[in-house]
Amino acid sequence: MCPEAIREITILPGRNKQGEPERFDAITIRPGETISIVGPTGSGKSALVNDIEIFAQNDTVTGRTVLVNGRQPPEEFVRDPAQKPVALITQHTKCLADLMVREFLLMHLRSRKIEDETVVQRTIDLANEFTGEKIRGDMKMTSLSGGQTRSLMVADAIVISNTPIILLDEVESAGIFKGRVIETLKRYGKAVIFVTHDPLVSLLSKRRIVMRDGSVEKVIEPGDSEREALDEAIRLDDIICRMRERIRAGETFTAPVSA
């Protein structure tokens, strides 16, 4: 259990790559909220999520400070992996352990002293809601595809680590149902921060942080003004997903998919 419930985390400004001060006052995120981080390659998106992951205290390349409930976070948040309230999942998240999915999850359960072993199947079932490529408990972790691995890591962060804050650095990939992941994270009341190049993920987030040259350039909160664009992104994403599944299944297209 976390020593203190998280009500909010606050990012305080640092410096851009030229060493000039960032021009925002503070960015606060609370459980149940989603923020996306967008911007060109090399603009500092990953650096920002890393600041959050390690609760930077003016001790990283960006000079930012991250507070929990308005204060410097307790030591355990940073040092003790079991108390850490943040799960970071990246494109490079891989599992090298030569274990079956079931064994891997059981090991994680034990390390967190969770006795209810039904949690293993619940985690696998949740992961299977995120991906079309079915994951089974008797599969080898190392044989999972990128989409399956990331789906399992997100489900593991929700069900087993149960961290209130989840950071996802460009995890969207062909094998993962983005809309469903976001919906689930909101339902579980997680504070979620996505680094993304995906329009649907950006539009589904309540706020967008725009990065440039190592600094936060602006924070956009579109409210309902992007409703039509979101509907369009949902519709297009749905078409693309269905096409992908059919192509994978070896089908050909002789009629429109959008019907």
Ligand X SMILES: Nc1ncnc2c1ncn2[C@@H]1O[C@H](COP(=O)(O)OP(=O)(O)OP(=O)(O)O)[C@@H](O)[C@H]1O
Residues near ligand X (CB under 6 A) are 15-17, 39, 41-47, 61-62, 211, 214-215
Interface mask toward Mg ion for 135-164; x: CB under 5 A: ------------------------------
First to last CA, the chain: 48
- Name the CA dihedral angle for 249, 253, 257, 259, rounded to a multiple of 10 degrees: -120
CB of 25 to ligand X, least distance (A): 17
Please answer whether residues 150 and 93 qualify as being in contact, where contact means their C-beta atoms are separated by less than 8 angstroms. yes
CA distance 138 to 154: 19
Instruction: Indicate the residue among 170 and 237 with the shorter CB distance to Mg ion.
Output: 170
Instruction: Indicate the residue among 17 and 140 with the shorter CB distance to ligand X.
Output: 17
Token digits of residue 149: 């691995």
Nearest to 123 by CA among 113, 110, 112, 136: 136
Please answer whether residues 137 and 121 qualify as being in contact, where contact means their C-beta atoms are separated by less than 8 angstroms. yes
Q: Is 46 in the site for Mg ion (CB under 5 A)?
A: yes
Instruction: Indicate the residue among 135 and 176 with the shorter CB distance to Mg ion.
Output: 176
Residue type, 208: R
CB of 94 to Mg ion, least distance (A): 16
Q: Is 34 in the site for Mg ion (CB under 5 A)?
A: no
CB of 195 to ligand X, least distance (A): 6
**Residue numbers of the site for Mg ion (CB under 5 A)?**
45-46
